[in-house]
Each structure stands twice: as C-alpha cells, then as structure tokens.
Amino acid sequence: MRAKIVKIGNSQGIRIPKLFLEQTGLSNDVEIQVVDDQIVIKPATHPRQGWAEQFQEMAQQEEDHLLIDGWGMTDWDEEEWEW
C-alpha cells in the first residue's frame, strides 16, 4: 500500500490505515527508529514490563533472598556502621 507524506505542524507524517493498526497491535505509544534506510515503528515497551510476574516466580522458587551476605562489606560496615 502506498501513502503520502503530509505536513503536520513543523513536522511531517503519514496516516496509518486502521487495518494495519489492528494487525500490528499498535496503539497510542510506539517506538520509532531508523534501521538502515527504513523507518521501523513498533509497540512501546515499558522498562519494568513483566517484573511483577518474574518476582512472583522467584518467590515460588524461593530465589527471592538478598545475595549480599558478606559481599562488598568492609570492616567499617561491620564494626562502625550504626542503623
């Protein structure tokens, strides 16, 4: 399908057909980047997307404990630090 580039304020854009939006699942937030000589538009990802499920899985497998037992501790941390 061909589309025309149109002026939108100081920028330019294209209209994306509804069918394309439905097929790709694109909605309000998207990520856009240039790859070689192409513009790639994809659904926006959220930096912490899926963390809650991963934390639940860690808890079920009893892997949700701190890993710093003694790691990175100095004599000052052990003897002089007060909470």
User: Do the Cβ atoms of 40 and 30 come closer than 8 Å?
Assistant: no
Task: For residue 32, tell me if it sits in a domain.
Answer: yes
Answer yes or no: is 80 within a domain. Answer: no
> In this structure, is residue 54 part of a structural domain?
no
> Residue 25 belongs to what domain range?
6-43
Q: How confident is the model at residue 72 (pLDDT cuts 50, 70, 90)?
A: low
What is the number of structural domains in the chain?
Answer: 1
**pTM assigned to the model:** 0.51
For residue 55, give the H/E element and its range: helix 51-60
What stretches of the chain adopt beta strand conformation (E)? 6-8, 11-13, 30-35, 38-43
Mean per-residue pLDDT, 28-36 = 93
In a domain, 51, yes or no: no
Q: What is the tens place of the pLDDT at every residue in 45-66? A: 888 888 899 999 988 998 877 7
